[in-house]
Amino acid sequence: MKESSQAYKSIFLIILTVFGVMTLYTLNTEEAPRFILFFGRFHPLLLHLPIGALVVTFFIDITSRFQKKYPTSIIRNLLGFTAVFAIITCFFGYFLSLEGGYQEETLDLHFYTGIATTLLTSGLFLISNTSKPKTQKWFLPLFIATLILISIAGHYGSVLTHGDNFLTEYARVPEKEKTIEVVDSLRMYDHVVAKILDDTCIQCHNASKQKGELSLLTKESILKGGVSGANVIEGNASQSLLYTRLLLPISNEEHMPPEGKAQLTKDEIWLLQHWIDQGLDFEGYATRGMENDTLRKKLKKYLVFNEVIIPIAPVDAIEEVKEAGFRVLELVPGKGALNVKLLNSSPTKEAIETLSLLEEQIVELDLNTSEITDEMTAVFKDFKNLKSLRLDNTNITDAAIKNIKKLAHLEVLNIYNTAISNDGLTELVNTIQPKQVYAWQTQVDKETADRLAQQFDIRIQSTIAANFVEDSQLEPPLISPIKTLFNDTIHIALESRLKDVALRYTLDGTTPDTTATVYTEKIILDQSKTLKVAAFKKGWDPSDVLVREYAKIKHIITDFTIKTKPSEQYPDAKKLFDLKEGSLDFKDGNWTGYLGTDLNTTIDLGTITPIQHVSFRCMESVGSWIFYPSSFTLYTSTTKKGPFKEVASTKVTREGEGGDTETKKMTLELPNTEARYVKVVIKNYGTLPEWHPGAGNPAWLFVDEVYFW
């Protein structure tokens, strides 16, 4: 026991001496040294050790008291372990606090309760080393007090890290969001900007935790900014840190949110830019004073609809409606919403009136090509949840509008080939605004339909030509597998989501038409080919042509040297030759990245051999600072030491300020060329252009495959 006590004394003395000296050194410097901040980052990792050890020790202590067999040595060593790491954790916590960005009052509470917990834990360890009965009687009360105190310290730690209500967030019943069902009712800051910031930024920029001394909780704190200066500049997003730091490469230390945190979507970034450029309106409505289709489209995500719970209809009611000549189907199995279709083209008034038995459940109602009359539509007034109504090819007139306009939740109305006129449609949309109205072959003229559609922001199809061709174009077929590189054969499968679609393809570079080969079984390629495929179906417009360039690899690259290694974040140069093509995500593990440097590699093909084509795939993602290269050059030699002769080169052109992330394949043809050694030089774009938010900084070059075919 004496030897154990002496060992712990030595450990405590060493820890207190080492970290005490580090603390004194830090107190005498104007700015915390980087190595001190480095140790501080280990605080969240180590703090779980003393907490876990303390809880385990308490459990063993309590159970042992009941079992009348007390493991003194185990308790002592566990408390020693806890005390050692509690002391280290305290020092690391102090080092971490030197980074700043924390609410001072909460930080002090966490700091001092943590120190008190460490002192109590050390006290428990000292008591466990004594045999005095008077001292021993304080052990259990002190232990309970330590557990209470460590819980309080942990609570304040969670407040610093995650915000005030982290522990209690799910203990309260959430406040019901206010229903906002139209874009014009959205307030730009309250309902859009604040929600974006709350989802992605507030965790690190709140009242308790203010990284960079920046809080984004209120109008005042947003305008105040942080240590880096003004956070937002009214009318100028390109000069506002809140916006420009979102555009930095995710690997950049100043990119926000940091890597590993939830990132903003393109739409969210667009909305923040729009809000700043339009003057930082903290009070007004999102669409005030402007008509912007792009803005309206992006704002629809922030609408809050009143949830409608539809009760399940009685079985006997459903059966009665079926007996009256209707088909009744559940829209979602086990749910109340129903699709109802009339099967009898000559219904009686009594048959139609049976629908009132399902007035809450009918969500889709199909009465097309029937002899329903204006009078029969009176039953509609009770349909509380009807969203889709088909009355096409019936004899209804404007008299039916008085009943249809009572359907407050109607979204789709089909009145094709009826007697509805301009007056009837105008009366309808002045009361309710379905999202879609099919009104061709009616008495509604195109001029009136277009005017009403624009006035009420709905779609009204008044002629077969209007939007019909667009809606009836086939989608391109699906092609599998995704890969396009192979070294033996590749089996290609085509598929369409629609039935009775003819998939026609070519392999000779021509565009497929109705005379092209029809796909019936897997296509097997044993040489490089360009596949073009399109979908055809009677009554539909053909799909867009899908193009895939398949390359049969002639040389598997295993021996190469590389002049400039890829950047540390994307380091493995072997990815250039593994035949695994990268996706549109540059972090998917298949891309190599070069920050401001060129790709320069020399490949040994093993023997002198003919070379016909050399290709590589590259990426452009302007928002992440990734640009296409500026040029692609090949040099060849028959000997390792050279000389190398330039045999082909091409410049890579790009236009505009970029858009979505994309990839492209670059190819050089080398007729009548033989070589053993091939040097590939792919030059980086260089410095980011003036129009880019990161202008003046080096661009990234991303390449995933270099191959010979």
Model confidence pLDDT, tens digit, residues 266-298 = 888 888 888 888 888 888 877 765 656 678 778
Q: Answer yes or no: do 56 and 90 share one domain.
A: yes
Q: How far are the Cα atoms of 15, 57, 223 from residue 125, in angstroms, in the given order? A: 16, 11, 51
Instruction: Give the DSSP H/E element, type plus range, for residue 142.
Output: helix 139-162
Per-residue pLDDT, 54 = 86
Q: Answer yes or no: do 322 and 363 share one domain.
A: yes
Q: Answer yes or no: do 693 and 642 share one domain.
A: yes
Instruction: Please state, in angstroms and rounded to a whole number, the distance separating the CA atoms of residues 204 and 212.
Output: 9
Within a domain: residue 394? yes
Per-residue pLDDT, 467 = 42
Q: Answer yes or no: do 206 and 103 share one domain.
A: no
Within a domain: residue 685? yes
Q: How far are the Cα atoms of 87, 108, 174, 385, 611 from residue 529, in angstroms, in the given order? A: 68, 69, 59, 55, 17
Q: From the first residue on, what is the mean pLDDT of each consecutive set of 10 residues in the chain (709 residues)? A: 72 86 84 82 83 87 84 86 88 81 73 87 84 80 87 78 62 63 77 82 66 74 75 84 80 74 81 87 75 74 74 92 90 83 89 93 91 92 89 92 91 91 93 89 90 86 53 78 88 84 91 90 91 88 89 91 87 87 84 93 93 91 89 92 90 77 88 91 92 84 92
Q: Answer yes or no: do 19 and 63 share one domain.
A: yes
Per-residue pLDDT, 540 = 81
Neighbours of 639 (CB within 10 A): 11
Per-residue pLDDT, 465 = 45
Q: What is the DSSP string of 96-125?
A: HHTT--B-HHHHHHHHHHHHHHHHHHHHHH
Instruction: Please state, in angstroms and rounded to a whole number, the distance separating the CA atoms of residues 140 and 500.
Output: 79
Within a domain: residue 442? yes
Q: What is the pLDDT of residues 451-487, one digit of tens each?
A: 998 888 788 887 654 444 444 678 888 888 888 899 8
Give me the residue label for tokens 């005017």. 451
Within a domain: residue 309? no
- β-strand partners of 702: 593
The number of domains in the chain is: 5
Q: Domain containing 382 — which CATH number? A: 3.80.10.10
Give me the residue label for tokens 């969203």. 387
Q: What number of residues does the chain have?
A: 709
Q: Domain containing 688 — which CATH number? A: 2.60.120.1190
Q: Answer yes or no: do 292 and 319 share one domain.
A: no
Q: Answer yes or no: do 617 and 674 share one domain.
A: yes
Distance of CA 422 to the CA centre of its chain: 45
Within a domain: residue 580? yes
Q: Are 23 and 91 in contact (CB under 8 A)?
A: yes
Within a domain: residue 472? no
Per-residue pLDDT, 466 = 41
- Domain boundaries, position 256: 183-302
The domain boundary, picked from 253, 277, 302, lies at 302
Tokens found for residue 354: 């049976």
Instruction: Please state, in angstroms and rounded to a whole number, the distance separating the CA atoms of residues 477 and 512.
Output: 13
The domain boundary, picked from 467, 487, 513, lies at 467
Instruction: Please state, in angstroms and rounded to a whole number, the distance separating the CA atoms of residues 656 and 691.
Output: 10
Q: Answer yes or no: do 47 and 126 share one domain.
A: yes
Q: Answer yes or no: do 101 and 46 share one domain.
A: yes
Q: Answer yes or no: do 525 and 569 share one domain.
A: no
Closest to 620 (Cα-Cα) out of 564, 582, 567:
582
How does strand 338-342 pair with strand 362-366? parallel
Instruction: Please state, in angstroms and rounded to a whole number, the distance separating the CA atoms of residues 11 and 20.
Output: 14
Q: Are 630 and 651 in contact (CB under 8 A)?
A: yes
Q: Are 281 and 174 in contact (CB under 8 A)?
A: no
**What is the SS3 assignment for 222-258?**
HHHCECCECCCCCCCHHHCHHHHHHHCCCCCCCCCCC
Q: Answer yes or no: do 448 and 346 share one domain.
A: yes
Closest to 278 (Cα-Cα) out of 290, 266, 267:
290
Per-residue pLDDT, 255 = 77
Q: Answer yes or no: do 326 and 455 share one domain.
A: yes
Give me the residue label for tokens 């009826």. 418
Within a domain: residue 199? yes
Per-residue pLDDT, 396 = 94
Within a domain: residue 308? no
- β-strand partners of 518: 504
Q: Domain containing 520 — which CATH number? A: 2.60.40
The domain boundary, picked from 280, 302, 324, lies at 302
